Amino acid sequence: MRKIKIDKSNHLRAILTDTLPYEIPFFFTNEPLFSAASNHQLSQGLPTFVKAMLWQSKPTKPFEYKIQKGGGNHRRISLPHPAAQLKFSELYRDFDSFIENVCARSNYSLRCPTRVGSHFFQKQYAADQPNGDNVDQDPASFSSQRQWASSYFYYKRYSHIYKFFSSDEFIRLEQKYSLMLKLDIARCFESIYTHSITWAIRGKDFGKDHKEAFFFESEFDSMMQSSNWGETNGILIGPEVSRIFAEAIMQSIDVRVQRQLDPISDRVAVRRYVDDFFVFGTSRDDLAFVKSVIEDVASQYNLHLNEKKTDTVTRPFTSNLAVARQRVARTLRNALRTAREGLLSEVHSAGFSRGVADHTIAEIRMIAREGNVDYAVLASPALAIIARGLLQIRRRVGDQVSAGTSVTLERVYLASLRISTFLFLMDIRSATTHKLAKIFLECSLLNEMLGKERVAFEGAVLDTVRLALDQARLQGIKGPEIINILVAADAVCEVSKGVTDDFLRSAFGVEGRWRQQTPRMNYFELISTLYFARKKQTFREAREAVCATIEERVLLRGSKLKFYTEETLLFFDFISCPYIKESKRAIFFEKVAKLHGSSATTATHLQQFLRVSSSVFFVAWSGHGHFQAMLERRELQPAYDT
């Protein structure tokens, strides 16, 4: 793991770290926009109508889509307009110190920004690169990640809630208190009233008396509204900038709650992670009082507790879920350690064979039954262990591959794929898709290291994809979760057909002619089809149908195109797509330009098209050849204060 410095002075890196949701396709990227903005290409040399798309302050409609969340439920995620993202980066530039201050007031918060990050930790796949200065450089600028981390600010104290539950702090709280009350703010982000950030920081009277004044809260309020189609009720769900907005409000709630709890401060302790409160005490009366205080203060900001999630637990605070996860982790680590040791011994055993895989799956099923927990809550940490275990095996074995090792190692990664498939099908979400993609990559690298034919490996990958598509269809999953499993399979399948037309039909629910189905497809689905189709003849019908739909949808917006995130992204990605004839893209560009009042000549429009299409786009079109680099971007550690 390497510590790498980043450019603190470039506020634009916020569009790489804080303005996009995590749940996006692997190939979606803001890096070209970041590069163009950093080099002043967005303000110089672009036609007026393109500048208007990227630099505007009027309300824009975000691109909304659904993702799978735990328990078979869905959550609506918002991807803000590029113009809104650029405005957020300016807010960070002007008020980063103020953000640090307003998020440093609470003693309860377990996760909050403390100061602008100056470095990040690069791990895992970065160490595999043979030349750190000249690897994986494609039009999407994968090499630019040296300049940015996975968050704009340093954060304290815990990046994920599970780290708190496994911390020394939590153990000390358990030793001191016999009861823990869990509280959750119901639909927190959907319920936040944007004006309440001013109430939270300066008071409601100030907010009402200074509606036209320019200050941090008013600017943040205005930008959150503008990025969400002018809505004051609810904020975007997904981007980190929304969490910071919510944190500023929640910290004010914390401060007021702590003030009212001062008389019993020696009998209770309160911690909060985003919108979840954890109250520790020894008396149920005390816990009830704390709950009433939190409920009352939160209601003054139009926020309310979710009674269905309110729960009081007694010591020990370890749940059946935590115990089950520990047992599954131990089972997998033992199996992987046995496989690793067997590979390095002089006598190679059957190792991690299919029989061992089936036994391991049976163990996981038994653990879930005994703990009365769903497989779904075990899948994500289990897949992470398998991915790390395969990485360790690959690095340990290295060049020490003999004939015996080769046979055993192939069994290891095929058996690992079998276990991973079982786990993934129980919990198809963005987080588990990312982990399965890492497992695909590790197995591919092991296969390459062995010099093996890829038929067996790729067959196992495609079997996993087929099963995942069937399961996704049953659960109504069509978002980034399923797109990314196709991206991973497309990248590692070199000799087989990989992603086929049938796979895409299954993923996006296309029956019959593509042209009849594409009008209901969203941005991610349309662009994914172009990404997988490339110039392959077998995708000709799909490619032509998608192109026709994109052209219709963009042209229908006319001069109001700039207000709609989905069609704006479609415009930029269509004209930059290398799998569509350049002449077709140039003609389309000219049509859009004329709709915006341009009277330039065709020759001028062609020059503008070439300039815009090479500088502003949101898809790493050659990502299938740079899959390791795409995963490396997801592997960047958040910039923590260490």
pLDDT in tens, 10-50: 999 999 999 999 999 999 999 999 999 999 998 888 999 99
Contact 621, 577 (CB under 8 A): yes
Report the length, in residues, of the chain: 642
* Model pLDDT for residues 52-92, shown as the tens digit of each residue: 999 988 999 999 999 998 777 899 999 999 999 999 999 99
CA angle 112, 199, 217 (to 5 degrees): 60
373's torsion region: left (phi>0), alpha (psi -120 to 50) or beta?
A: beta
Contact 137, 143 (CB under 8 A): yes
The Cα–Cα gap between 477 and 639 comes to 32
String of DSSP letters for 399-414: T---HHHHHHHHHHHH
String of DSSP letters for 499-525: S-HHHHHHHHT--S-HHHHGGG--HHH
- For residue 397, name the pLDDT band (cuts at 50, 70, 90): confident
Burial level of 45, CB count in 10 A (0-12/13-18/19+)?
middle
Selection from 405, 481, 393 nearest residue 450 by Cα: 405
* Model pLDDT for residues 287-310, shown as the tens digit of each residue: 999 999 999 999 999 999 999 999
SS3 561: helix
SS3 121: strand
Place domain 104-115+152-317 in its CATH homologous superfamily.
Answer: Reverse transcriptase/Diguanylate cyclase domain (3.30.70.270)
The Cα–Cα gap between 180 and 173 comes to 9
Identify the pLDDT of residue 595. 97
The sign of the dihedral angle between the CA atoms of 598, 599, 602, 604 is negative
Structure letter (DSSP) for residue 194: T
Q: What is the 3-state secondary structure (H, E, C) of 52-87?
A: HHHCCCCCCECEEEEEECHHHCEEEEEECCHHHHHH
- For residue 147, name the pLDDT band (cuts at 50, 70, 90): very low
- Phi and psi at 34, nearest 5°, equal -60, -45
CA angle 379, 243, 642 (to 5 degrees): 75
The Cα–Cα gap between 187 and 234 comes to 9
- Phi and psi at 311, nearest 5°, equal -155, 140
* Model pLDDT for residues 459-512, shown as the tens digit of each residue: 999 999 999 999 999 999 999 999 999 999 999 999 888 899 999 999 999 999
Question: Residue 316, preceding bond cis, omega within 30 degrees?
Answer: yes
* Model pLDDT for residues 500-537, shown as the tens digit of each residue: 999 999 999 999 999 999 999 999 999 999 999 999 99
Residue 313 one-letter amino acid: V
**Residue 160 neighbours by CB distance under 10 Å:** 12
The Cα–Cα gap between 566 and 45 comes to 24
Contact 553, 599 (CB under 8 A): no
Cross-sheet strand order for the sheet of 311-314: 268-273, 276-281, 179-184, 311-314
- Phi and psi at 354, nearest 5°, equal -60, -35
The Cα–Cα gap between 206 and 224 comes to 19
The two tokens of residue 349 are 């055993």
Contact 47, 612 (CB under 8 A): yes
Burial level of 76, CB count in 10 A (0-12/13-18/19+)?
exposed
* Model pLDDT for residues 326-376, shown as the tens digit of each residue: 999 999 999 898 888 777 665 555 556 678 899 999 999 999 999 999 998
SS3 154: strand
- For residue 641, name the pLDDT band (cuts at 50, 70, 90): very low
- Enclosing H/E stretch for 592: helix 582-595
Structure letter (DSSP) for residue 12: G
- Phi and psi at 109, nearest 5°, equal -65, 135
